[in-house]
Amino acid sequence: MDSSNTTTLRGAQTGASGARRVNTTYRICPRSGLQFEAQAEKLMLANAVAAVVFLLLGGILAVGVVLTRWPAVHWLEAPTFYQVLTAHGIDMLIFWIIFFEIAVLYFCGSTLLRSRIAAPRVAWLAFALMVIGAITNNVAVYQGGSSVMMTSYVPMMAAPSFYLGLILFAVGALIGCFVFLGTLVVAKRERTYEGSVPLVTFGAITACIIAVFTIASGAIILIPTYLMSIGLVEKVDALIYRTIWWAFGHSSQQINVAAHISVWYLVAAVVFGARPMSERVSRGAFLLYIFFLQLASAHHLLADPGISTEWKVVNTSYFMYFAVLASMIHGLTIPGAMEVAQRSKGFTKGMFEWLRKAPWGNPVFAGVFISLVGFGFLGGISGVMMGTEQLNLIIHNTIYVPGHFHATVVIGTTLTFMALTFYLIPVLFKREMIAPKLAKLQPYLFGFSMYLFCLVMMGAGTLGVSRRHWDMAFSGVAMAYEWPGAAYLMMGLVGISGLGAIIGGALYIYITVGSLLWGKRLESGARSEQVTPLARATPAAAAQTYGSLGFVAPGTFALAMVFLTAFVLYYFINWKYLSTLWGLN
């Protein structure tokens, strides 16, 4: 690095501690005005690229999964299917998403706060551990003998390297979280921002806190399981494993929720210049996630006989609703902020001109809005239904469960991260995006294919189709169950819509990788020897003008009423369905 690329941060940024020299550089993106610190930028790029690599692997494996669960095709043999399903679940639900989330944490901590990243060498160590762990785990699965699904319930054992890979990855991710927290300390000490941290960074802090709890839970149960696999521990209790594992397994998806909702707020600001309708309310909703969101893990244990009914009911029928309330607040305030911003630009005719005139050809906005609607209507409503102990009996361990979590993790998180990538290609990667027409198509193809995929999965699960079984027909079994024709139809649609989503994912990979390799190189922006502190934000004009009780977003309120009506109707239908199954008066 030459002297022109070396920056000295001095007195004003180190407060009362005196002058401090830190070798780093800052660049201001000419397209967004964002300020990137050199080491943080490299770490974001590395983690984002690793994420896309594992998304590619998971997408290839998804072909085998959907073509096998499609009864008319039934492609893979049983051993290969379970091997492919194990790798697909881990690559998609853990490696792709957490690599990307670490990049998001560094973006929210360094770029949004205009701070240097804390301990960059430690951050690179974290990245190396995550890469080594992910590769080790994948190799273990591909070698055979570790087809234990993502849950890897004991006493069904995988190879020791399977658990070791997950542990290494988790340690790396945990270190990345602490680097993010350290960056917050650096930003505060060096006064790179005034007042409270931005709301997007606050959401990232929420994701980080949940991540620390999640990774600690994983370590508590995966370390003794690893020791059991190498013969140092005789036994791990199956019920204890399931209980603690789901504190890790389900909570890892709660990291996703906090992270992708933070991105929703970011995109609302980037695309519309939208300001939160009430930052206090939004921050309060994030706090509800910290206190209550992990308790939703209990819905995976509702059929376990070793756990008391009281514990199940308190967690899933009471505490979990505080987390649901938080999601409903975000689901109201984010489109509400978009509506307020659009109305301030003159789109005031009727209740929905602001929505009709939204930039639907912009893949950043389109991806986020499709994600928001699908996450709420498909993931949110089905999640609350699954969390009710009595209704859970209808769909527990059926293919309804992956239908639900594809609505939350794929429509909610993955589609949001895809939309964010389209924004970051020119801003962070400094490349012009190739194939802009395909980029406009991608969120619609991927998003609506996943809508259908999740709906028909949940429909088949309601009819009782099993969650993970290689052959729903149980061919050759003496007492095979005769499924209704609707079940086979829905599983066929799972295959068709799944292929549509895979094509949409392939478009994302092509556009992203192609832009990095062949896209026109864009101006990186001026490099400065001084960080430019972030000024204190002012309250949103709408909040100042109308107050908390004014109808500043009538269209969003109407959409919220549609959501509430759908929620009540679906809840009632499932109770009615349960009453016909039980046959009780």
Say yes or no to pLDDT of 545 above 50. no
Q: Is the pLDDT of residue 319 over 90?
A: no
Which range among 53-57, 160-164, 171-175, 254-258 shows the weakest confidence by mean pLDDT?
Answer: 254-258
Closest CA to 151 of 294, 73, 248: 248
Mean pLDDT on 254-277: 93
Cα 470 to the chain's mean position, in Å?
27
> Mean pLDDT over all residues of the chain?
88
What residues does 556 pair with on adjacent strands?
A: none
pLDDT band at 9 (very low <50, low <70, confident <90, very high): very low
Task: Tell me the two tokens of residue 109.
Answer: 């901590």
| 323 — pLDDT class (breaks 50, 70, 90) | confident
Output the CA torsion 185→186→191→193 (10° steps): -70
Measured between alpha carbons, how far is 334 from 267 in angstroms, rounded to an integer?
10
72: which 2 tokens?
């008319």
Each domain of the chain, given as residue ranges in start order, spans 30-474+482-534+550-582
Residues 101 and 253: beta-carbon distance below 8 Å: no
- Tell me how crowded residue 143 is: count the other CB atoms within 10 A of its CB: 12
Phi, psi of 154 (to 5 degrees): -75, 155
pLDDT above 80 (res 255): yes
CA-wise closest residue to 498 among 460, 524, 462, 537: 460
pLDDT tens readout for residues 109-127: 999 999 999 999 999 999 9
Tell me the per-residue pLDDT of 25-51, one tens digit each, with 9 for 90 and over: 889 888 888 999 999 999 999 999 999
Residue type, 157: M
> Mean pLDDT throughout 525-551?
54
Q: For the sheet with 26-28, list strands across it.
A: 35-37, 26-28, 527-528
Q: Any idea which of 191-205, 269-283, 542-556 has the lowest mean pLDDT?
A: 542-556
Residue 550 has pLDDT above 90, yes or no: no
pLDDT at residue number 475: 81
How many helices and strands in the chain, by DSSP H and E?
20, 3
Distance of CA 481 to the CA centre of its chain: 36
Instruction: Tell me the whole-structure pTM to 2 decimals.
Output: 0.92
At 1 the pLDDT is 41
Distances (CA, A) of 444 to 407, 439, 440, 449, 450: 15, 10, 8, 8, 10
pLDDT at residue 543 greater than cutoff 80:
no
Q: How many CA atoms lie within 13 A of 452 on its CB side?
A: 18
pLDDT, one tens digit per residue, over 423-462 is 999 999 999 999 999 999 999 999 999 999 999 999 999 9
What is the band of 532 on the pLDDT scale with cuts at 50, 70, 90?
low
Give yes or no for residue 499 having a pLDDT over 50. Answer: yes
pLDDT of residue 7: 37
pLDDT of 271-311, one tens digit each? 999 998 889 999 999 999 998 877 777 888 888 888 888 88
- Higher per-residue pLDDT: 525 or 247: 247
In three-state secondary structure terms, 431 is: strand
The three-state (H, E, C) secondary structure of 494-537, written as one string: HHHHHHHHHHHHHHHHHHHHHHHHHCCECCCCCEECCCCCECCC
Residue 542 pLDDT greater than 60, yes or no: no
**To which residue do tokens 């309330």 refer?**
325
CATH class label, 30-474+482-534+550-582: mainly alpha
Q: What percent of the chain has a predicted confidence (pLDDT) above 90?
A: 68
